[in-house]
Structure 1
């Protein structure tokens, strides 16, 4: 029985690898410009938009004509992001919000709807990392990691998904990590929180499908380590350029990509790991 299960599992992953190869071939033949959706005029809210990849996504979304709303605990960083967006001819608003505080999230969401309008694209990007072994990670840091990297997604999504359901239209992006698919030494709390973020996206996608809300798309982003200073000293493949990752995420939204691995080759590593 065990041998049969192993053979079946092996066959499943071989078929999955063939599917990915076929998908890549089809996408290579059909030009991306024919598959992109127009996000001009859409309201895009990015958590953690005051710096790093969050700020870059704000700028790239604005360049596509989206109206930017950035949420972050850094008031100064938020203001700078909006200044940069406007300097490039875009539209943007900044709100100082602690996404770990659900009451603050719901209050800020009400203000956004009143002052900007219905949110069409929600990018759950805010993230933190302790970067220590389990025994050396303070309890408060572990709790904070889960609150920012996973639990906050529930509050932000609940705050905006209702309007999306009414119109059966919207897009929810969950910025997780390849470390939400495979573990790494010295990042137990971070990996676990990203595994939770992956599960959040997968369960949300199934729930939306069961409710017939096929017009609400979700994108799970699983990048490798990004050169934002969060993983200084860690070793896991090549360190990715933040601008490259931000561009890939925005393109993933335009193309309605369900699961986005950055770079794409990471997904084959995931298959081998399984």
Structure 2
């Protein structure tokens, strides 16, 4: 009894016996070995998955929310998800374009799609619209946060209202939508959250300072949310963040590309297909095209001047939309 009391006092003082220290060191050494094994395993698993991709899970019967569904990538996402048998909930602030997307889906004979006009930057409007969707359709099981805007001019040419609108739509909307829908996903222990960022969320570019900042934020949101979801036992809610290169949707008004044959703009159809495939395979993060992921990761290990030299060599950028 006295020995136990003495050991407790030593522990409180941070003192350990030689045997206890040896046991602690052995435990840490075992943990290091396990960690190294995991590094090696995941490294070779990633190589294997490049040649043998994971099986794409069915989305038939899922209720998929697509924001910005009235145009570009969003329209393609809604149509392609519907073609896979999902029930699609289309949100867009432009009611006319949104209704046209739903009408196109109906003409193709796909499962029913629903149209809701929604200002995603307004938290209360988001919560009210989610409540309507739940009443009309049911719980949303897949979120695709796609809506975004991209003014392209110098920071000093941006107004306060413009910067606030960029962050309201490109960043804050993600928070409001996730807060409104995630509780039902956790309760049902089923769901997937897809956040559309950009390759401009991996590299800073001129004429895109607020936009780049907003898309960097989406990457950070996705990574942190992935970690936080582990705190909910058995919730099984997945996250995916997508970083596309320049997409031919009309947002990239004045693109400049030195190597047009190898760095040409992506099509909305191809990006939407890549997004859906990544979601169905449970990918945590991808770029479109996929080689951009390895380029951005590699460049981050280089001296800043080397990264600048590569950027200048590639010559891919957006000119100001004010001139």
TM-score when normalising by structure 2: 0.76
Q: 1:269 to 1:235 in 2, by over 3 A?
A: farther
Report the equivalent of 2:314.
none
Whether the 8 Å CA contact 2:155–2:207 is kept in 1: the answer is yes
1:19-76: CA deviation from partner (whole Å, max 9, x where unpaired): 99744531244355xx111110100000100111000000000010000100110110
Partner of 1:75: 95
**2:35 aligned residue:** none
Q: Which residue of 1 aligns with 2:52?
A: 30
Q: In 2, distance between residues paired with 1:264 and 1:97?
A: 32
Contact 1:130 1:142 in 2 (8 A): no
Counterpart pick for 2:65 among 45, 49, 56: 45
- Partner deviation per Cα, 1:169-189 (whole Å, 9 max, x = no partner): 100000000111111111000
Residues 240 and 116 of structure 1: CA distance in aligned 2, closer, same or farther (over 3 Å): same
Q: Partner residue of 1:245? A: 271
Counterparts in 2 of 1:16-165, with a 5 A limit?
A: 22-23=44-45, 25-30=47-52, 32=54, 35-90=55-110, 91-165=112-186
**CA distance in structure 1 between the aligned counterparts of 2:297 and 2:109, rounded to whole angstroms:** 43
C-alpha contact 1:47 1:71 (8 A) present in aligned 2 = yes
**RMSD, aligned α-carbons:** 1.8
Identify the residue that residue 192 of structure 1 maps to in structure 2: 213
Q: Secondary structure at the match of 1:62?
A: helix
2:89 touches 2:115 (CA, 8 Å); kept in 1? yes
User: Gaps (5+ residues) in structure 2?
Assistant: 1-39, 258-262, 301-323
Q: CA separation in 2, counterparts of 1:235 and 1:181? A: 18
Count residues in correspondence.
256
- SS in structure 2 opposite 1:117? coil
Equivalent position of 1:258 in the other structure: 284
Determine if contact 2:187/2:235 at 8 Å carries over to the other structure.
Answer: no
Unpaired runs of 5+ residues, structure 1, are: 1-17
In structure 1, how many angstroms separate the alpha carbons of the residues matched to 2:80 and 2:200?
A: 25
Moved more, 204-213 or 134-143: 204-213
For 1:258 and 1:132, the matched residues in 2 are separated by 31
Contact 1:46/1:70 (CA < 8 Å) preserved in 2?
Answer: yes
The Cα shift of 1:137 comes to 1.0
Aligned counterpart, 1:211: 232
Distance 1:47 1:37 in 2: 22
Q: Return the offset for 1:138.
A: 1.5
SS in 1 for 2:287: strand
| d(CA) in 2 for partners of 1:212, 1:239 | 42
Maintained 8 Å contact 2:185/2:235:
no
Which whole-Å CA distance do the structure 2 matches of 1:25 and 1:195 have between them? Answer: 26
| Contact persistence 2:199–2:244 (CA under 8 A) | yes
Change (3 A) 1:45 1:55: same
